[in-house]
Structure formats: C-alpha cells, structure tokens
Amino acid sequence: MNDIRQLEPRSLWRHFYNLTQIPRPSGKKGLIGKFLEDYGKSLGLETLRDEIGNILVRKPATKGMENRKAVVLQAHMDMVPQKNSGINHNFETDPILTYIDGDWVKARDTTLGADNGIGVAAAMAILESKDIPHPDIEMFITVDEETGMFGAFGLQPDFLKGEILINMDSEEEGELCVGCAGGLDANINYFYQEVLAPEGDIALKISLTGLKGGHSGVDIHLQRANANKLMFRLLKEAVSNYEARLSSIEGGSLRNAIPREAFAVISVPKDGVDDIFELIADYESLYQEEYEGVEDNITLTVEQYNDKFALIPEEIQDDLINGVIACPNGVLRVINEKPDVVETSNNLAIVKSFGNRIECNCLLRSSVESRKQELASMVESVFSLAGAKVEFTGDYPGWNPNLSSPILHEMKGIYEKKYGVTPEIIIIHAGLECGILGINYPDMDMISFGPTIKYPHSPDEKVHIQSVAKFWDFLVDTLANIPVQE
C-alpha cells in the first residue's frame, strides 16, 4: 500500500494528499488560498480572506460545548520548495509525489510539505467532522510564513475572536512548545561592472552537491555543512594559489534553509586546468573526511564551461571571498540553563551573482534580543569591512514563554493521563508565528505542538506516520477538554 489516503486517520491524510496536489510554494498563494476559501464555503461555514490573503473559517461549537473558550487552530499554507539537483519539478505547477517508506511518508526528490501541510490538514478535518466535540473553532491559515511570516505580520487586531491559539507547526511529537527565537534578515549586496577574462583563459564550472541541508532553525545544531562556506573555502585557495578568477556564483536558494548546493564558474590559465581538477579532487576528499558521520554524500565536480562568460572585478571578487569566509555561521551560543537548546545562530543562506550584482542573504536567529542585535552588528561589520552594502529587514520577535499558561496546564494533564508520560515543555530555536500574533493579541493563550517531521526544508523531509495519528488523537482530546469561559 503506497496511497497515503489509506493511512489513519483517514480524514487528515485525505486532506494532506489534496494539499500535495496544489502547488503552494511561498509567494504563490493564489491556488492554495482559493482552495481553502472554497473548502470553508463548501461546508457552509463563515469564511473570510483578509487583505494579505490569510484565510479564516469559523465553525460553531458542538452541542454542550458552547460555554467553552473559543479556539484558534493555526497553521500556514505555504511550503518550502527544495528539490534535488537534476530533478525536473516545477513547484508552481507540479504536484508533490508522496510515497510510504516503512514508518514514514516522504516525497520523491522534493520537500514533502508536511511543514505545515499536516497542521492545515488537521484543521480541515476538524472543520468537516460531525462527531468530534469542540468549542467555537476558528481555522486560521496564514500566507508566506516561510519567507518572512508576512501573513502573521499582516494580521489585523480585530480579525480573530478566539481566546486560545493552538499553533500546529511544531515538529516533534511528545513536545509542547511555549516559546521560540526571533529572527532578522541580513541583505548584503555588491555592485560592479563585469570585466573581460585574460586572453587564453579557460572557463570551468565547479559543482558542490549532495549536502543534507535542512531547516536553519530546527537542524542548525546538527553541524551540517553549509555549501556556501565550503565553496568559498575552495575558491579562496583557487584564487590565491592557482591564478583563478571568479565569473559567477550561485549557492543556496532560501533564507531559512541550510544551503545544500553551490555552483561557481571560474577562469584559469590554460596550463592551470589540470591543477584545478586535482585541487577539486583533494577538497572533495578533505570535506568527506571532515564531515564523516554528518554528511554522507558530499560531491565536488569540475567540468569545462563552454558558454560565454565575463569576470567579477578582482577587487570585488576578493572582498566577496573574504566576507563569506569571515561571516559567522551556524550555532554561536546555547542557552546557559539548557545547553542542548540553541540560543543564537546564523545561516549564511544565499550567495548569488546576477551579472552586475552579488546578493548574499543571512537569517539571524536568537531567543535573546540583545544577542540578535550583537550578531547583526558582527555580520554588518564583516561585510562592511569587505566593501558590501548591508541592510537588515524582516525583524520579528521571539515568543516569550508563559509557563503558567492555562492551555499548557490543560494539555500537559491530558497527555499524562492519555499516554502515561509527561510531555517535554520546550522553547525552540526555529521561528513560530506565535510571537508575532501576540503583538496584536497579547492576552491570547498560545501553545504549539505537532507530529514528528524530520529534515524540513530539504528533499529529505519526512513525517512519521504513527506520530500523526497520536498528534490527531491528542488534538481531538484537547478540543473536548477546553476550559470553560470565565
């Protein structure tokens, strides 16, 4: 059996399958927004779309639950579009191809979209249910969470009516999340005019592929290789010792994904081509040795490049290389009281040339605002010294934990009674929309939970089947036990 619609709970998996058939990469909200809006209306429920594209569907309480606090079931509609190199998949037109692999649901060579499609599917299943007790429900699905949490930022203070918000965007069953890190985007640019290559130079294309990548918050502690850092380490030696010149660079594609691949075109004197081939082979062996046990498929290749090419001016090339080499990346600090939890990190996500401009993007995260600003100062100093223009955008707050939260107390008790173990109460390093939503709804009681999803934001993304069933059962019991209005 390889049809995910046959898995239990059937209603949730059916909705998730339907979501995989609708292209929904971040920034492309038209099809998925209409689908969710039409779904709410097809159930005869009050359905609203706000100016930014967020969808809200209201379902009245079931009989006997009218005096309970109203609940917002919250998730985001977009997914991260990542695929393996060489795969012919268009995220704006093609469905996601799912399959069952033992205890997991995966996608063929692309991200699966369980982040956050499972949360959306669960909310849809609650809306259509006829036998699940629940208070007044609002299904609130935001747009463009993955690219900057724009849906949460655009929410107006009078749109939601619920008193409790259950965010379903966490990724480890058995955990109740009550806080998260804030974030900030660093946008770094170099501007230049291309120059001609020295006469007789040969152009070569270097490809670095096979890295695992992953979510720049959830997976940053795994110490996986960053394709941009590895590529520029190699380029520095090629430029310094082998008379190479940089023509173009393309590394990484999303601010919140650890870069898995990087590609560079260089020029070298004709008599230095063999040396570059040998250098590439040496670095492939070096990287495989350094990342043994962490990365298992690092691949470096080089081939002659036959298209037209020009060069990045030498002073810009050198500044760029120095800036990328010096830029802090990965985990910078852990939480003192919880050393297994990351406090502050940076993801050097994108380095890409456009012919007369080079763009670098970093996503800075920290659960301590002052540390986030310190990191921003570090990144700004590094690249300013390296001759770049640096701007910061997309600043979003962390979500400060409330350990006396009534919904936390209720859900902790339900989990202990249902499963005989205490759920772990956590603060995560990834960004959740709760902190932003709390700006306009400061009195709303919030919590986040979800099934086990591994390696989101990469083609290795997978969701654990049994954990989805457990997530669903826990959600159903939670809704049946929402506290009475005061």
The CA–CA distances, whole Å, from 292 to 222, 225, 375, 423 equal: 13, 11, 29, 33
CB 216 within 8 A of CB 257: yes
Catalytic site residue 145?
yes
Encoded amino acid at 299, one letter:
T
Cα separation, 478 vs 34, whole angstroms: 29
Alpha helix positions (H), 129-172? 150-154
Alpha helix positions (H), 106-164? 114-128, 150-154
Question: Of residues 78, 136, 343, 433, which has the active-site annotation?
Answer: 78
Q: Which two tokens stand for residue 285?
A: 């062996």
CB 190 within 8 A of CB 384: no
Q: Name the helix (H) or strand (E) containing 175.
A: strand 175-180
**Terminal Cα-to-Cα distance of the chain (whole angstroms):** 49
Q: Is 218 exposed, middle or buried (0-12, 13-18, 19+ CB in 10 A)?
A: buried
Cα 297 from chain centroid? 22
For residue 41, the 8-state DSSP code is: H
Encoded amino acid at 51, one letter:
E
Nearest to 458 by CA among 125, 172, 80: 80
**Which of helix, strand or coil describes residue 446?**
strand
Question: Of residues 145, 171, 172, 201, which has the active-site annotation?
Answer: 145
Q: Name the helix (H) or strand (E) containing 34.
A: helix 30-42
Does residue 9 have a cis bond before it (omega within 30 degrees)?
A: yes
Cα separation, 277 vs 242, whole angstroms: 11
Q: Which two tokens stand for residue 273?
A: 């081509």
Cα separation, 31 vs 55, whole angstroms: 12
For residue 270, the 8-state DSSP code is: G
Strand partners, 140: 56, 74
Cα separation, 446 vs 316, whole angstroms: 48
DSSP for 387-416, please give it. Answer: T-EEEEEEEE--B---TT-HHHHHHHHHHH
As annotated, the active-site residues are 78, 145
